[in-house]
Chain A
Amino acid sequence: MKKGRIVLGALAVLLLAAGPVEAHKVRLFATVEGKTIKGYGYFSAKSRARDCQVKALGPAGESLGQTQTDEQGEFSLEAGKRVDHRLVLTTGDGHEAEFLIRAEELPADLPGGEGQAAAGKAEETAPAAPAGSRAEEKLSPEAAPAIAQAVAREVAPLKEQIQALRRQVDEYQGRVRFSDAVGGVGFILGLAGVAFYLTARRRGQG
Chain B
Amino acid sequence: MHVAEGTLSGPVLIGGAALAVAGISLGLRRLSPEDIPRVAVVGAAFFVASLIHVPIGPSSAHLILNGLAGLILGWAAFPALTVALFLQAVLFGFGGLTSLGVNAVVMAGPAVAVRLLLGRPARSPDRRVALAAGFGAGVVGVGLGCLFLALALFLSAQGFVNVARLAVAAHLPVMAVEGLITAFVVVFLGRVRPDLLED
Contact = CB atoms under 8 A, between A and B. Distances in A.
Interface of A: 3-4, 6-8, 10-11, 14-15, 17-26, 90, 92-97, 174, 176, 180-181, 183-185, 187-189, 191-192, 195-196, 199-200, 203
Contacts of A95: 2-4, 7
Binding site secondary structure of chain A: helix
A103 B32 CA distance: 58
Given A21-B62, A25-B2, A192-B36, A181 B53 contact: no
A96 B92 contact: no
Given A21-B62, A25-B2, A181-B48, 6 more contacts: A18-B48, A19-B52, A23-B62, A25-B94, A94-B149, A184-B84
B93 interface: yes
Most buried by B among A90, A97, A187: A187
Contact of A195 (B36, B87, B94, B158): B36
Contacts of A11: 41, 44-45, 48
- Which bracket fits the contact residues of B? 35 or more
A187 B91 CA distance: 11
Interface of B: 1-8, 33, 36-37, 39-41, 43-45, 47-53, 60, 62, 83-84, 87-88, 91-95, 149, 152-153, 158, 162-163, 166-167, 170, 192-193
Nearest to A196: B36
Contact of A185 (B44, B52, B192): B44
Most buried by B among A6, A17, A200, A203: A17
6 contacts: A6-B192, A14-B52, A24-B94, A25-B92, A185-B48, A192-B36
Contacts of A19: 51-53
Nearest to A46: B60
Contact of B92 (A180, A185, A192, A203): A180
A20 B53 contact: yes
Contacts of B5: 96
Contacts of B149: 93-94
B2 A94 contact: yes
Nearest to A27: B93
Nearest to A185: B44
Contacts of A21: 50-51, 53, 62
Nearest to B174: A23
Contact of A192 (B2, B40, B163): B40
Contacts of B7: 90, 94-96
B43 A93 contact: no
Nearest to B106: A94
Nearest to B146: A93
B53 A94 contact: no
B52 A17 contact: yes
Contacts of A93: 1, 149, 153, 163, 166-167, 170
A125 to B, nearest CB: 42
B36 A18 contact: no
Contacts of B50: 21, 24
Given A93-B166, A94-B1, A184 B47 contact: yes
Given A22-B60, A24-B62, A96-B5, A192 B39 contact: yes
Contacts of B152: 94
Contact of B49 (A14, A176, A195): A14
